[in-house]
């Protein structure tokens, strides 16, 4: 087996493009910002920091989202919305660091009182790989769950 990677100390500032980053947990705050930006760019509204799943200080939005979530759930448009959200997230993630493979999952469901259960599993190096998740429910008809996984190369 390969030798274990050295543990990286947590940084207090965001990495700059081209800076060598080996630990995705260092990028989690930025990944959450990217997830929020991707969702609000397509669906509108805001994502509160308490809905974002990661450890660290609350993220600051990349850009101000629209003031109100105006989209209404339309089954015929869900695939387009989901594709656009994941495309925006991947485009922005690829600008962060070339040292990771990224996987993005977007679930959009109609908010109608029915429950939703999701599950995910990964076998990875807990020292360098991690995920960030945002749950967007700032709308009376739509719930969106965006999960970003960063896997060190």
How do residues 42-80 score in pLDDT, each as one tens digit?
887 655 444 444 444 444 444 434 433 568 899 999 999
Contacts 24+ apart (CB under 8 A), 57-61: 57/29, 59/29, 59/30, 59/32, 59/33, 60/33, 61/33, 61/36, 61/37
How do residues 96-144 score in pLDDT, each as one tens digit?
888 899 999 999 999 998 888 888 888 888 888 988 888 888 788 888 9
Burial class (CB in 10 A: 0-12, 13-18, 19+), 118: exposed
| Global pTM value | 0.70
Strand-pair partners of 143: 109
Take residue 3 and report the two structure tokens written for it: 């030798």
């Amino acid at each position: 087996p390969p030798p274990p990677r050295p543990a990286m100390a947590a940084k207090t500032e965001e990495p700059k493009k081209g800076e060598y980053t080996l630990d995705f947990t260092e990028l989690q705050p930025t990944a959450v910002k990217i997830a929020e930006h991707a969702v609000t760019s397509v669906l509108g509204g805001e994502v509160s920091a308490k809905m974002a799943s990661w450890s660290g200080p609350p993220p600051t939005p990349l850009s101000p989202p629209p003031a109100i979530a105006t989209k209404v759930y339309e089954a015929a448009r869900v695939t387009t919305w989901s594709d656009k959200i994941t495309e925006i997230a991947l485009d922005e993630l690829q600008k962060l660091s070339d040292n990771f493979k990224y996987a993005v999952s977007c679930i959009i469901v109609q908010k109608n009182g029915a429950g939703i259960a999701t599950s995910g599993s990964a076998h990875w190096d807990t020292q360098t790989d991690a995920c960030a998740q945002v749950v967007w429910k700032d709308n009376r008809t739509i719930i969106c769950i965006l999960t970003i996984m960063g896997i060190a190369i």
